[in-house]
Structure 1
Amino acid sequence: MQRYKEGAGLVATIEQEREFEQEQERLREKHQIEAEDVVIVERPSLVKFLLKLGISTCKTAMTIALLLLALLGLLALLYPQPREELLQVLGTMLQEAKGFIGMN
């Protein structure tokens, strides 16, 4: 059994080395470095971190807002009084859109 565990570790090690080499190749192309014996290490940047954090926060906020609007729309269609109001508003919007286009 020990033999199989060592084999699995060997495969994992080879995969890690392959991923490391692919990452180094990508970094060499990015930074335009021709030397093969140079190991490139990118350090995390505060600006990049804050930018990614801001983007993910905006995406989360937009998703929550979209879900809330979908819930409000569903509730407006389920109950009779808001449904009537919604249909009146949509009819008015359609008439105004036709007026802007000149279809009236």
Structure 2
Amino acid sequence: MKRSERDQFIIDQYKNDEKMMVLIFTQWCVNHGLDPYVVYEEAYPHERKNNAITEALEQTVSKKESEEISVEIVQHVLQLFGNDDLAFVVQQYADAKSK
């Protein structure tokens, strides 16, 4: 594999992993009756509408069809991609729901 091919492979893999992170976050929101746009906006109020969330919502399933996704899993994948603010907001929602 040439250097440019390897670089492109790494970039493509990162993009696929990032899409999976957004899907996990979005499915967690669906499972908890939350609007992922609202949750995202709380973490990043100055950003535009996130098109990745729109794409991920097309792939989510109903809460009934979904496997359980723990808040720890969501936080972990968000933090892997540097979304610490979003992970914090997710934790706030989880804490509020458990009270």
TM-score range, shorter chain: 0.3 to 0.5
Structure with bigger helix share is: 1
Q: TM-score, normalised by structure 1?
A: 0.33
Whose relative contact order is higher, 1 or 2, with alpha carbons under 8 Å and at least 6 apart? 2
Q: State which structure, 1 or 2, has the greater radius of gyration over its C-alpha atoms.
A: 1
Q: TM-score, normalised by structure 2?
A: 0.35
